[in-house]
Amino acid sequence: MTLNFKQELTAVFGFPVAENPTQVMVEAAYRHHGLDWRYLTIEVPPRDLADAVAGARAMGFGGFNLTIPHKVSVMPLLDRIGESAEVIGAVNCVVAREGELVGENTDGRGFLESLRAVRDPAGLRVVLLGAGGAARAVAVELALAGAESITVVNRTAQRGEELAGHLRDKLGAKAAFQQWSDRIAVPSGTDLLVNATSIGLFPDVEACAPLDFDSLDRDVVVADVIPNPPLTPLLRKAGERGCRTIDGLGMLINQGRIGIRYWTGLDPDPAVMRAALEKVFNSTAAG
Ligand code: NDP
C-alpha cells in the first residue's frame, strides 16, 4: 500500500472570519465520506488578498470560499469567472480546474436547490425583500432559472432600483422595484416571497420583516435566507397561515454542498452537514 500523508486543502478567506462556521459543516462532510481533506478558516486582510490567492495557487488548494470583504475584490485575481458569478458581480467560491482558478457564486444556487425541492422556479412570480449581496445572488439565479417576474422590495430605493435595472439589462428579466415603507402587502398572484434582508439574524431573533400578513395567501411559498436561527418569525407566521416554507439553513448547507461537489467531485450528505451546523448554532444561541 502506498503511504500518503498529503492532505488536500480548501479554505475560507475573510476579514474578520473567526465566527464563520463553514468549516464545521464542510469538515463534517469530509470526515463522514472518509476524505483526507481540510477546510481552514483563514483571516486575510484586504491588502493581502492577492498574496493569499497566489499562496493558495502555489500550494495547490482544491479551492476556497470568500466572505466579507473579498467577494468582489477577488475577481480580477482569478483566471475565469462563471456565468452567474459574472452577472451577480461577486465570487464566493473558487475552484481549481485544470490549472486555473475559476470564480463561482454558490449563494443563489444554494437557494435554488432548496427551492427546487418544493417548487420549480420556472414561471414563478417572485417578491424579493432586500437588494444586498444575498438578494442579488438569489435574484440572478431565479431569473436564469426562468422566473416569470421579480419585484424587488427594498428600504433604500437606490439599491433596489439598481438591482431591478440590473436584472432587466443583463438578463432581460421582467423586474421592477417597489419602495418598502411600512407594512407592505404581498400582491395577489405572488408565488414566492423571499426575505433576503438580514432581518431576523441572531442575536436579533424576534425581528420580523414588516409585512401585512393578512395579505399572505396560503399558496405562496415563503423563503428566508437567515440561517441562524432557521425558524425566523417570518417563517413561523407564514407557516401559521398554511404556507410552505424554506429556511436559510438549507440554503447555507446547499451552497456548501455545491462547493464540496466542485472541489472533490463528491456529493456530500446534507444531513451530516445540517447536524454539524445545528450543533454550533444551538451552542451559540445558548451562550
Ligand atoms: P447586505 O448588507 O449586502 O444587504 C442587507 C439587506 O438587508 C439590504 O437590502 C438592506 O436594506 C436590508 N435590511 C437590513 N436591515 C433592514 C431593516 N431593518 N429593514 C429593512 N431592510 C433591511 O447583506 P447580505 O445581502 O450579504 O446578507 C443579508 C443576509 O443574508 C445576512 O443576514 C446573511 O446572513 C444572509 N445570507 C445567507 C446565506 C445563506 O446561505 N443562507 C448566504 C448569504 C447571506 P438597505 O439596502 O435599505 O440597507
* pLDDT tens digits along 123-180: 999 999 999 999 999 999 999 999 999 999 999 999 999 999 999 999 999 999 999 9
Q: Closest ligand 1 atom, CA of 198?
A: 32
| pLDDT score, position 202 | 86
Tell the residue nearest (CA) to atom 21 of ligand 1: 155
Name the residue at shortest CA distance from atom 7 of ligand 1.
197
Q: In the predicted model, is pLDDT for residue 287 greater than 60?
A: no
% pLDDT > 70, the chain: 99
The pLDDT value recorded for residue 281 is 84
Which residues, in sequence order, are bridge partners of residue 153? 129, 178
Residue 5 CA to ligand 1 center (angstroms) comes to 42
Instruction: State the average pLDDT for the chain.
Output: 95
Pocket residue to mutate for ligand 1, from 198, 228, 234, most atoms within 8 A of Cβ: 198
Task: Give pLDDT, residue 1.
Answer: 75
Whether residue 71 lies in the annotated active site: yes
Write the pLDDT tens digit of every residue in 92-129: 999 999 999 999 999 999 999 999 999 999 999 999 99
Ordered by where they begin, the domains of the chain are 8-106+251-286 (3.40.50.10860), 119-243 (3.40.50.720)
